Amino acid sequence: MSIAKMIDHSLLRPELTLDDIKRGCEIAARREVASVCVRPSDVELAAAALAGTGVLVGTVAGFPHGDTRTAIKAAETRALVEAGADEIDMVLHIGRLRDGDTGYVLDDIAAVVAAAGGRVVKVILENAYLTDEEKTLGCRLTEQAGAHFVKTSTGFAPGGATLADIQLMRAAVSPHVQVKAAGGVRSLDTLLTLHEAGATRFGATATEAILDDLAARERGELPAATTSAADGGY
């Protein structure tokens, strides 16, 4: 799989205008990434802009705190699928996971999986707030509920994806469940390191910088730097 097809180009920041969303979709189409991940209100726009490009439309449910009632998360998911979403990145209920309320967390995820009607569901744990034991539990409940990915972060919490978390999450789930790294994936070197550890999808706003660096290396050019523009969330 190409590096581009591992990237979900993130368009989730609250200040983005419709023109920003359109430009982001143009970048996603031109760079042939896996998907865009847009705010719920932008799904129709993204679906129209990306029709026929092979780039999927992703969006979020219960974002960014995860504390929306389960019925609302499920209803939101159904509405987003109807609007054209191909993938759903949901935030589990962080507080209930920390409480050890496994029944609530499991049912919450399962309701979104059912509402998605077979579309890919990625479950955001928001690892910055969790112990390793809680991360492992969240991964196992995600798999039990039938979701397709475990994901590190929203990008709006104090911390994002780390190598240790990717290794922990990869070990906590079966091979058919994938791992998505998000939050702080701002350079090609970071992406490659996390991919080696087991991540197969990456949320990024620095998509062009990452892919430009890759192209330069493939041409045999010395990379300018391993850091790129700040993520600004996600």
Q: Please tell me whether the overall predicted TM-score, pTM, comes out greater than 0.85 for this model.
A: yes
151 in catalytic set? yes
Residue of 89, 108, 165, 213 with catalytic role: 89
73 in catalytic set? no
Model pLDDT for residues 131-182, shown as the tens digit of each residue: 999 999 999 999 999 999 999 999 999 999 999 999 999 999 999 999 999 9
In this structure, the strands spanning 87-91 and 56-61 are parallel
Q: What mean pLDDT is predicted for residues 66-72? A: 98
First to last CA, the chain: 23
* Spacing of C-alpha 96 from chain mean position: 21
Smallest CA-to-CA distance from 109 within 163, 169, 68 is with 68
H or E element: which one contains 36? strand 35-38
H or E element: which one contains 204? strand 201-204
Q: How confident is the model at residue 123 (pLDDT cuts 50, 70, 90)?
A: very high
Residue of 86, 151, 213, 231 with catalytic role: 151
* Spacing of C-alpha 188 from chain mean position: 17
Rounded to whole angstroms, the Cα distance separating 126 from 128 reads: 6
Task: Kindly calculate the radius of gyration of the chain based on its CA atoms and give it in whole angstroms.
Answer: 17
Domain boundaries, the chain: 4-218
Residue of 8, 180, 213, 231 with catalytic role: 180
Q: How confident is the model at residue 224 (pLDDT cuts 50, 70, 90)?
A: low
Largest CA distance in the chain: 53
Q: Is CATH 3.20.20.70 the right assignment for the domain spanning 4-218?
A: yes
Q: How confident is the model at residue 223 (pLDDT cuts 50, 70, 90)?
A: low
Determine the pLDDT at residue 190. 97
89 in catalytic set? yes
Q: Residue 204: is its pLDDT beyond 90? A: yes
Supply 34's token pair: 């896996």
Determine the pLDDT at residue 234. 43
Q: What mean pLDDT is predicted for residues 184-188? A: 96
Provide φ and ψ at 153, rounded to 5°.
Answer: -160, 160
Determine the pLDDT at residue 221. 85
